[in-house]
Structure 1
Amino acid sequence: MQIDDGHLLIEDLLKDPRKFDEDGCAYTLLQKYFSGLPVDTLRPLLRSENVDVQRVASFVASELGNKASGVLDDAVPLVDSSDAHVQWYAMEVVAVCAKGNHVEKFVCVVGMLESANGALRRLAMRLMMNADLSQLSESQRIFERRGESCGTHEQALRALVAGEQADPAVIVSMLRHNDALVRRYGAIAARRLSQKYPELSSQIESSDDPDLLKF
């Protein structure tokens, strides 16, 4: 019955996506997935050309955690969506599911450090702060293969991959750098090393960079 109800909800979503979203039915649909509705049924919704359908589907996927691994490939393109809500949810799906054989897909989250949207930049920072070392290492290798134009990412990721072996003086210099992207990397590194080097947090708090102050 739960599965049947889920299919009926999907039909309602496709009939009137805007009303479905505004009525808060996305949460009801999410419960159906927790109750056994196959995650594969999200795939055509994530691939829909209707942004409201994508928004509902990406929200549901983001709430499913690693249960959404089956639709990871459908979430990755949505990181480049024209809708900030869809981008946000897609980034969360990728951060949770891009692991193991799919770890290379995490690089699209790293790329969002350069988003024109401040909220999405800071989300990328938070997701990278909590990322597995394998996700950061593979992203560093990808930027290295892309060449000189990605040098800032490649070099800054090295500092994150170094982990506790990183020189705190290097992190401080990153936090004070004139390149905003480098400062964001510095803040991520400082947060990841906060237990070993708690003094780095004060460097973030004394910054006049809004991304760092809101991080």
Structure 2
Amino acid sequence: MTQSSDGEQLISDLLADSRKFDEGGRAYALLQRYFEGLPLETLRPLLRSEDAFVQRAASFVASELGGKASSVIDDIVPLVSSTDRHVQWYAMEVLAVCGKGEHAEKFAHVVRMLRSADDALRRLAMRLMANADISQLDAVRRYFEHWGQRYETHRQALMTLTVGDSIDPVTVATMLRHEDALVRRYGAIAARRLVREYPDLMSQVRSSEDPDLRSF
């Protein structure tokens, strides 16, 4: 059996019994077929499936492919709003890696997850933002600016993150004590990005009464 036909058989098995496929850990085998040359276009209908287990396998594959998944990024974006936590997690990871250059605005879908009701997903968003390129954060800032007052807190906080070497540690320390939890999360992200220059900021993060900050 060729690698292509082997991959097609795995996809067929996934569609035939997605729960069994997931529970058997076969998404890893499918990933290997993509590494070996299975056309990425075959992943697109799986990402568009309404079956959460199919979405889970496909989004896992995309997250492991890294930058190679850029061509399916538009099919990844809706999955950030999936009802399946695993799918959301994988989708966020894909957008962090592929949401650059012409796709940088799509990183906004990760940034919005700072308000997620799921603490693990909020903290994932914080980690991904702490490692993001300034160009990604700046694109998101401009995106939120376009939408006006609705995202004003995001816009102002992103201004702090995107000034590069001019970032003010006093401003970050103030953000860490802010009454708005979203601002505190942004403060923790800024502190992580400045850890080499101002390690004391991360000490403040770890001693915070906010569990999102203490776990960051």
If the length of structure 1 is used for normalisation, what is the TM-score?
0.99
The alignment partner of 1:64 has SS state of helix
User: After the TM superposition, which residues 57-136 of structure 1 pair with which residues of structure 2 at under 5 Å, given as runs?
Assistant: 57-136=58-137
User: After the TM superposition, which residues 142-157 of structure 1 pair with which residues of structure 2 at under 5 Å, given as runs?
Assistant: 142-157=143-158
| Whole-Å separation in 2 of the counterparts to 1:75 and 1:168 | 35
Superposition misfits of 4+ residues, deviation over 3 angstroms: none
Identity score, percent: 66
Amino acid at match of 1:37: L
User: After the TM superposition, which residues 38-53 of structure 1 pair with which residues of structure 2 at under 5 Å, given as runs?
Assistant: 38-53=39-54
Amino acid at match of 2:15: L
Amino acid at match of 1:3: S
For the aligned residue pairs, the C-alpha RMSD in angstroms reads 0.7
| Whole-Å separation in 1 of the counterparts to 2:101 and 2:148 | 25
Q: How big is the shift at 1:78? A: 0.4
| Whole-Å separation in 1 of the counterparts to 2:69 and 2:39 | 10
Q: Deviations over 1:25-57 (max 9, x none)?
A: 001111111111111111000000111100010
| Whole-Å separation in 2 of the counterparts to 1:202 and 1:98 | 30
The alignment partner of 1:36 has SS state of coil
Q: Deviations over 1:5-32 (max 9, x none)?
A: 0010000000000000000100111111
Q: Which residue of 1 aligns with 2:23?
A: 22
Q: How many residues align?
A: 215
| Whole-Å separation in 2 of the counterparts to 1:176 and 1:162 | 21
> Gaps spanning 5+ residues in structure 1: where?
none
| Whole-Å separation in 1 of the counterparts to 2:179 and 2:208 | 12
Amino acid at match of 1:153: H
If the length of structure 2 is used for normalisation, what is the TM-score?
0.98
Asked if 1:198 is matched to 2:216, the reply is no
Q: How big is the shift at 1:149? A: 2.1
Q: How big is the shift at 1:100? A: 1.1
The alignment partner of 1:196 has SS state of coil
Q: How big is the shift at 1:101? A: 1.1
Q: How big is the shift at 1:2? A: 1.0
Q: Deviations over 1:180-199 (max 9, x none)?
A: 00000000000001111111
Amino acid at match of 2:165: E
> Gaps spanning 5+ residues in structure 2: where?
none
